Amino acid sequence: MGQGMGAIHLSEVRCSGQEPSLWKCPHRNITAEDCSHSQDAGVRCNLPYTGVETKIRLSGGRSRHEGRVEVQTGGPGSLRWGLICGDDWGTLEAMVACRQLGLGYANHGLQETWYWDSGNITEVVMSGVHCTGTELSLDQCAHHGTHVACKRTGSHFTAGVICSETASDLLLHSALVQETAYIEDRPLHMLYCAAEENCLASSARSANWPYGHRRLLRFSSQIHNLGRADFRPKAGRHSWVWHECHGHYHSMDIFTHYDILTPNGTKVAEGHKASFCLEDTECQEDVSKRYECANFGEQGITVGCWDLYRHDIDCQWIDITDVKPGNYILQVVINPNFEVAESDFTNNAMKCNCKYDGHRIWVHNCHIGDAFSEEANRRFERYPGQTSNQII
């Protein structure tokens, strides 16, 4: 399952099986010499049988892992199979469908399935499906109920999935963000490329170019792939967009969101990072690099490797020129639009406390969005930020 990262808290855990949490089991507190991440504990859980897999099936695909989604609706004596409207069907909905089918993780969620034969099932029986990604079956997701409303009619515009037994899982190194954060007043004449790629606040458009400067909160991002499959851009090389100013290709429209929020959740500054170069910067000892951006190379992050965006490269910042002194939350979300499927989206968001006095900034308490208990989160701040890629 790969190695973890960050602090190791427990060693020699001995449970009877009756304890309410691992902390209640006899254990020894960890010291730096005791354990390495090669010894991280793991579990494989078994869900109780609920029979939900009997109410869903795939049809028309080239293998049992792909096809048009068909679901069973109705009560005793009136059961029938039907299709799902493709409107707004995406990665999260596909994740739930693949989980319900027992086929692992979603690789793609498809809104059009014209290339798959529909067979004799043509009726659409479910629409408006909206999932958080954690449900066990599509029935548990929000949907229109018995009232079916589809913008595009016909069996070719129905939901489909491609499932996979493995998936990537990205995780941001939160401690590095805290260690590398600083403020830079950067002259406007050095920011033309950044402005062209929309990396500055909207007020920069009315600035007196090329005179003056923008105040930038800069930090490094080190993004690890801890999953069981490589993280690859959704788009192939043929559709990557060349940006002349910086001289590179963009393989994803948005790879990360950077936000400064007030304690009550109001956004006061934002930034974004297009994945102009997804590559293996470094890897674990026994893993070889596979992706490199040079010479129009393949982009991605190999399992066991990480991609490092240094604090001193363009757009690796938030423009805080218009932010007033005060206490804030720094929030970073990876893969925010679910463009690429992952096994777990709950660890894609990181947040930190920030104190800004108008001249300096103190970034502290950085952690992955779901790292704290609910009680600890309430002590951390009034606004919980994003505990995953989901807006709360």
> Is the same domain home to 174 and 160?
no
CA-CA distance, 274 to 251, in Å (whole number)? 8
* Residues written for the chain: 392
- Residue that terminates a domain, selected from 164, 187, 215: 164
Convert 241-258 to b/e letters by CB count within 10 Å (16 or more is b): eeeeebebbbbbeebbbb
> Is the same domain home to 150 and 74?
yes
Residue 24, phi then psi, degrees to nearest 5: -85, -10
Q: Render 146-189 in DSSP notation, one character per residue.
A: T----SS-SGGGB-EEEEES--B-EEE-HHHHHHH-EEEEEEGG
Is 194 contained in some domain? yes
- Residue that terminates a domain, selected from 130, 164, 198: 164
Is 8 contained in some domain? no
Is 28 contained in some domain? no
What percent of the chain is helix, strand and coil (3-state, nearest 5)?
15, 30, 55
CA-CA distance, 327 to 263, in Å (whole number)? 7
Q: Quick one: tokens of 126?
A: 């479910």
Which pLDDT score is estimated for 287?
92
CA-CA distance, 300 to 306, in Å (whole number)? 10
CA-CA distance, 76 to 73, in Å (whole number)? 10
The answer to whether the predicted template modeling score (pTM) of the entire model surpasses 0.75 is: yes
With beta carbons less than 8 A apart as the criterion, state whether 82 and 172 touch: no
> Is the same domain home to 178 and 159?
no
Residue 187, preceding peptide bond in cis (omega within 30° of 0): no
Which pLDDT score is estimated for 392?
41
Which pLDDT score is estimated for 390?
47
Burial of 48 (0-12, 13-18, 19+ CB in 10 A): exposed
Tell me how many domains the chain contains: 2
Range of the domain at 222: 170-382
DSSP structural state of residue 34: T
> Is the same domain home to 157 and 200?
no
Residues 6 or more apart whose CB falls under 8 angstroms from that of 179 comprise none
Residue 84 sits in a domain whose CATH number is 3.10.250.10
Is 174 contained in some domain? yes
> Is the same domain home to 294 and 178?
yes
CA-CA distance, 386 to 368, in Å (whole number)? 10
- Residue that terminates a domain, selected from 164, 199, 223: 164
Q: In what order do the strands lie in the sheet with 170-172?
A: 170-172, 221-225, 305-309, 282-283
> Is the same domain home to 208 and 146?
no
> Is the same domain home to 215 and 144?
no
Is 305 contained in some domain? yes
> Is the same domain home to 106 and 195?
no
CA-CA distance, 216 to 197, in Å (whole number)? 15
Is 89 contained in some domain? yes
Is 24 contained in some domain? no
Which pLDDT score is estimated for 213?
95
Q: Pick from 95, 230, 96, 106: which is nearest to 163 by CA?
A: 106
> Is the same domain home to 320 and 186?
yes
Q: Quick one: tokens of 74?
A: 């109705």
Maximum C-alpha span of the chain: 76
Is 158 contained in some domain? yes
Angle, CA 264 vertex, CA 337 and CA 130 arms, to 5°: 35
Q: Pick from 134, 129, 130, 106: which is nearest to 234 by CA?
A: 106
Residues pairing with 362 in the sheet: 355
Could you state, in chain order, the average pLDDT of each consecutive group of 10 residues for the chain (392 residues)?
Answer: 76 91 86 76 80 90 93 85 93 95 93 81 91 92 89 88 94 93 95 88 91 95 93 84 76 87 90 80 92 86 94 92 95 91 90 94 87 56 50 43
> Is the same domain home to 188 and 307?
yes
Residue 158, phi then psi, degrees to nearest 5: -115, 165
> Is the same domain home to 176 and 236?
yes
> Is the same domain home to 226 and 279?
yes
